[in-house]
Structure 1
C-alpha cells in the first residue's frame, strides 16, 4: 500500500492540474481500510473474513458566472493489489471524472420534439446501474414480486446471476452476514425469473437457498454481491452503428426502482444520428417501464465492473452495453 503522503501528493497534483485548466473546485477522498469480520455461533461454528479495500470518491464542481454550475462525480472501490495499481486507479478515475465534466459542459438541453419513446444505448456504467435496480426487484422480500418466479420479464438473451466468488471484484465473499456459505445464484435465465436473493428466513418461505444476507446488527436483508449480466455477441460500436436514431447514455447521476418502472437521471448523453454519436445533450430523466425489459435487443460481448453502496454495504455489478426502448424527457 502507498504511504499517506504519496496519496496526498498525487491528489494535490491532479487537482492543481484541473484548476489550471478550468475554474474548478476539487474534492477527492481516498479511504484505505482493512475490514476484519468474524461471526461466531452458539454451537461454536465461526466464519472469519479479512479484506483490504481502497474507496475512491471524486467530486468536481465547475464554477460558472452566467449559467448554473456543473458537477461531475465518480466512485470506485478496488482491491489494493499493488502500490502502482492504486496510484494508477486514482489517476484514471480522476481523468474519467474530468472527461465527464468536459462532456457535460458542452451539452445542450434536449428540445421538446425529442421527448418521448426512443431507442437507448446504455454504456457500461448506466447498464450496471440499470441491473442494480433490477436486482432490487429480485429481493425476496420486495413487496411487488410475489408472482415473479417463472415469469418472462425480459428478452430471451437476458441472463442475470450473482457471483459472490468473482476474484476480480472487491465485493468477493465466501459467506454472508448470517454465516451461510455463498455460491453463484442464477436469477434470470433467458428472460425468465428463476430465483430471488435470499436470507435464511426468506429462503424458508420461498423454498429456495439462503446466502444473500446483509446486516450483522439488524434484521438481515437479501441483495447481490457481484451481479453479472451475461454478455452477448455484439461489439460496443456495432450496437451504436446499428442504431439509426436514438440516444447513448454513458453515465448516470442517479437510478431508482419505482412502482412499475426504473428511473434514471443521465450524467453524460449523446444523440445517435444515422448510427453515429453526434452532439452531447442534457436529458432530464429516462423512464423504463419494467415491460420494456423485453425490448432489449442488443448486448455487447465485453463486461465492465461498477462498484456502488447499498446502504452501508459495498456491492458490484458487471455489465455490457445494452440497447432497449425508454421514455426520454
Structure 2
C-alpha cells in the first residue's frame, strides 16, 4: 500500500527552547533574539517556541525568556510560544506577551515527578488553573491558547513501555480541561514507526487532526521514519529543531530533536508543501553551528539538498 501523505504540513520550530535548553554554552539574550528573528524570516513556520518559564536554577539557559520575548521581532501569522510547567510559569509567560502557552505533562508518573516535581493528577489541576488564567476576561489582552505536550508518550526511560490507553486518557483529560490541542512527544527517542502509526490514528480520532501535534527525537536514529509513520496515520503538525539540536535535561540519554531542515527537505522531496524556505533554514543552521562552536547533527546542511549537482571531474591520463 502506498504511503499516504497530506498536501501540506505545518511545522513548529522548537530549537530556541527545546534545542538550547540542553546546550552547555548559554547564549546571550541578543544571540537568542537573533536566532528567533532569523527563523521568523524562513517562511511559514506555524509557531516558534521562543523560550520557557521555568525555574532558572534548574534550566539556566532559559532564565532570560521574558527579555527574549520582549525583544524579538514578531512576524504574524507566526505564533511565538512559551513552555510552562505550572501556573506561576504561566503568569510570567502571559506577562511576557506569549501568543500561546505550551504546558508539559508526562504520561509517566515517574518522569512527571522528575520533570516538574508533581504527580500527573496535580499537573492536570495546574492545567485547569493555567487555562483559567489565559481565558477571555484577562483584560486588556485576548485569550491565549494553551496547548499540552504529553511527554514520554511513546516510552519512559524510567518505567519503560507506556500503555497507549494511558496516553489517550491523558490527552482526553487535557482537552476536557480546556487545552486547544495536544502534542504527543517522544521525549527520549523510544518510539518506532508501527507504534507511532497506531497511537496517532487513535489520538486523531479523539482530538481531531487539527488539534494533534507530534514531537520526535532522533535519539536512536528513527526520527524521520516516525515522521513518515505519523504522516501516513493522518498527522499534519510536527515539531522540529534547527540543526537537530535539543534534548531534555531531566531525561537520561536524551539527544537532539528531529532536525527541522532535514524534515522539511524530505517533505518537499515528497511533494508536501510547508511554506518554508529550505535554503534559509540551512543558512540559519550553519550560522547557529558557528555560534555554538560545535558540529550540529543536521544532514542537509552537510550534504546539501538532493538537487545539488557537482561538476564532473576531469579524466586523468592513465599512467600506462
Q: Structure 2-normalised TM-score?
A: 0.23
The structure carrying a bigger strand percent of its residues is 1
| Higher Rg of the two aligned structures | 1
The structure carrying a bigger helix percent of its residues is 2
